[in-house]
Structure 1
Amino acid sequence: MSLRSALLVAGVALAALNLRPAIAGVSPLLDEIMGDVGLSPAGGGAITTVMVVCLGVFGPVTPLLARRIGLDRTLLAGLLVIAAGVAVRGLGGAPLLYLGSALAATAIAVMNVSMPGVVKQHFPDRVNLMTGVYVSCVVAGAALSSALVIPIEHGTGFSWRGVTALLAVPALLAALLWLPQALRRPEAAANGPRPFGAVLRSRVTWYVTALMGLQSLTFYVMLAWLPTIFLEAGLPADQAGYLLSLTNLVQVGTSLAVPVLAGRRASQVPYVVGACLLTVLGYLGVLLAPTTLPWAWMIVLGVGQGAAFALALLIIALRPADPAAVTALSAVAQSVGYVVAALGPLLFGFLREVSGGWTVPLTVGLGVLVVQLVAGWLAGRPATLETR
């Protein structure tokens, strides 16, 4: 591998590491944030909801931005805006908290949509492997941030404001590494993303979109509320945070291996179904016995959710024939999908307030997983997305 290729792989990996800390780093600190800012449980869940809404609402601008300045420069811009957003949200009260979170999430939305196209553009013969690499880095970023924010807070003496602002550092480092790639001549406009018309008319698009949205909803519900669920079940705060980090760490290996294996087959149905069933088992464990073998439930949940996320992104990269079409499908699937997903944390917070416990919210989550199973079956079948 040449030096340029090695730097390109490293740049993709480090950029991907920044796609979740701004979101995942909030969850272990959520009780402290709510107490400091004066938020209700629904208001606390709304932090994640605001971010996931932005992931959906602002994804569609990515094809237009990439067509004008290129995918590589779009990725660089996203990294810089993430750094700005996480710095802003710790500067004041609730308005700046939500504003900074929205700013960071907008940048993440653009990068989410860009990454499958970047992989298709730079690694056309290694889509399976590089999808696994970048998805595992996305998951690793979530795992590291959720595991380290509490120890960093204790070790530095910073409040939640200072700790979350530190998340700007890895984003700036990734931007520095990606800068040489972004300074290269952007790809020709003729190779840019196509209009959405043909993509929107394809049934494949909506199967993939449903899979993306539902697996994201069930993931962000757990990301937002899992530590709180364990806290209310009687586990200490540090253990609750470590359990969340465990399920995210398990996803690292799963999301690296599954695309490599599933991408070799014409149909990804067996993998998608298996991922959904494991997620169901993890939900059941949290619902029925949260303090009995919680580590086992987190491992099962991590395998299921990591595989589902990786498969959704792999299918996005595999179905179209070129980077432009991949970016168009990615924009539709992730934009609509994340708008659907945004309802999850807010709905769970509301159901928790109304019902007074977690039985009703988790039962609703199990119902969502049944629908996800059907969507995954349809999206995983062999198909080609025609965009001409």
Structure 2
Amino acid sequence: MTASEIAVPSPPEAKTSTSARIILGASLVLIALNLRPLFSSASALLPEIQAQLALSSFAASLLTTLPVVCLGLFSPFAARFAGRIGSERTMLVVLVLLAIGTSLRGLSSIFMLFVGTALAGACIAIGNVLLPALVKRDFPHRTALMTGLYTMALCAGAASAAGLTLPLERAFGGSMNAALAIWALPAAVVALIWLPQVILTRGQTVRTRFTVSGLWRDRLAWNVTLFMGFQSALAYCVFGWLVPILRERGLDGVTAGAAVSVSVMVQAASCLVVPHLAIKGRNQSALNVALCVIAVGALLGLLFAPLWTVWFWAVLQGIGQGGLIAAAMTVIVLRSRDSHVASHLSGMAQCVGYLLAASGPLLVGFIHSWTGSFAGSAVLFAVLGSIAAVNGWLAGRPHYVGAISRQADAVS
């Protein structure tokens, strides 16, 4: 049994006006926009980072893996922090520290590069967990729309960083540090935009202790978790290594970054469509498997197909991977009876799932270091996709996880 304090709005009328809901929804989307540039901005400049800081292939693998590990390690703390200080305040702290951590990467120091990456990764972990719970709590009748919008924003943030980081580096006169640190600015701006939500909910939040039991023993919860983990492993292979893969195949840095940016932008469009398809169907099993096949098949095309077809495979990979991200987020909500179970299932899926996902980019780096080529990664992609497909099929069944949430004592 696990227990946590979940911040719930005391007067439900506080957020019922149309304008207030639109502002809240837009703010959540803007927050999501800032939860992925950390990954793809470093990927776009990975050869430059290795050259300027004398990073080995092993150290580069650790750099691409570190934020994913942080997603797993820190996601369990999200519900605890939200219970202590409220979801809105927790999100504000996340945004401020995310801006600080991202800016630290702009210092000419290997140590600060890793510290900043870890701090930002921890903040993203907590933000990742809070978003589905806030959607379940504040938009119970607009779940598909809001899930699609914020997962689309996640992809759009990654695409922006993948496509713009290298041109920014050149615009800053070849300053790798400035190109990495500039991504702190949007997070700081969104923190200011989110601040009114904190002010408006001050004194309107009652902290109530809820116990959520049976989650970690539930088979369906583990299917959801493994689906999240192994599709995420594929996603972070793309975020961390697709630009270097395409550059090694012969594309120049700007073109490789543009191809990845196009792929991730297509992910954004796919994220908007898939939740609606998922909810309309009797279950999501076939959809989850189909998306796994598309995502892996396109990755193999990017590895081996002629370079003149790279744009086709980039678009196809975006359709599959973006759909998988949205499907994984959607099943967390659909398999939960209420927002309290959703919060804990989200924490479980992202804690265990992202620790599993960290193996993806790390193994790609090991394979490249061992073989001198990215070709061997094809086997890894196929294995990750197969495991994701099996658990996606099982997670798509129309049942709730067996966890039960109960209200205990109110916290004064």
Identify whether the pair has TM-score above 0.5, normalized to the shorter chain: yes
Matches within 5 A, 1:132-147: 132-147=148-163
State the Cα distance separating 1:296 from its structure 2 match.
0.6
CA separation of 1:299 and 1:63: change in aligned 2, threshold 3 A: same
Which residue matches 2:389? 373
State the Cα distance separating 1:163 from its structure 2 match.
1.4
Q: Provide structure 2 residue ranges, at least 5 long, that are not aligned to the other structure.
A: 1-16, 405-412
AA at the equivalent of 1:187:
T
Whether the 8 Å CA contact 1:254–1:303 is kept in 2: the answer is yes
Task: Give per-residue Cα distances to partners, 1:104-123, cap 9 Å, x unaligned.
Answer: 00000000011000111110
Which residue matches 1:354? 370
The TM-score, its normalising length taken from structure 1, stands at 0.96
Structure 1 range deviating more: 37-46 or 51-60:
37-46
For the residue of structure 1 that corresponds to 2:333, the secondary structure is helix
- Paired with 1:188 and 1:386, the residues of 2 have a C-alpha distance of 27
- Paired with 1:365 and 1:9, the residues of 2 have a C-alpha distance of 35
For the residue of structure 2 that corresponds to 1:189, the secondary structure is strand
State the Cα distance separating 1:71 from its structure 2 match.
1.6
Match of 1:103 among 119, 124, 127: 119
For the residue of structure 2 that corresponds to 1:357, the secondary structure is coil
Across the aligned residues of Structure 1 and Structure 2, the Cα RMSD in angstroms comes to 1.4
Match of 2:109 among 74, 93, 98: 93
Task: Give per-residue Cα distances to partners, 1:318-344, cap 9 Å, x unaligned.
Answer: 111221111100000011000011111
For the residue of structure 2 that corresponds to 1:234, the secondary structure is coil
Which residue matches 1:285? 301
Match of 1:214 among 188, 208, 230: 230
Please tell me whether residue 245 in structure 1 is matched to residue 261 in structure 2. Answer: yes
Matches within 5 A, 1:198-277: 198-277=214-293
The TM-score, its normalising length taken from structure 2, stands at 0.91
Matches within 5 A, 1:1-388: 2-157=18-173, 159-183=175-199, 184-185=201-202, 187-190=205-208, 194-195=211-212, 197-289=213-305, 291-388=307-404
State the Cα distance separating 1:2 from its structure 2 match.
2.6
For the residue of structure 1 that corresponds to 2:251, the secondary structure is coil
Whether the 8 Å CA contact 2:225–2:353 is kept in 1: the answer is yes
- Paired with 1:362 and 1:355, the residues of 2 have a C-alpha distance of 13
State the Cα distance separating 1:265 from its structure 2 match.
2.6
Whether the 8 Å CA contact 1:230–1:290 is kept in 2: the answer is no
- What number of residue pairs does the alignment pair up? 386
AA at the equivalent of 2:92:
L
- Greater helix proportion: 1
- Paired with 2:30 and 2:315, the residues of 1 have a C-alpha distance of 25
CA separation of 1:43 and 1:141: change in aligned 2, threshold 3 A: same
- Paired with 1:194 and 1:297, the residues of 2 have a C-alpha distance of 46
Task: Give per-residue Cα distances to partners, 1:266-303, cap 9 Å, x unaligned.
Answer: 31112111111101211220232151400011111110
Q: Provide structure 1 residue ranges, at least 5 long, that are not aligned to the other structure.
A: none
- Paired with 1:349 and 1:72, the residues of 2 have a C-alpha distance of 38
- Paired with 1:28 and 1:193, the residues of 2 have a C-alpha distance of 43
Whether the 8 Å CA contact 2:133–2:339 is kept in 1: the answer is yes
- Greater strand proportion: 2
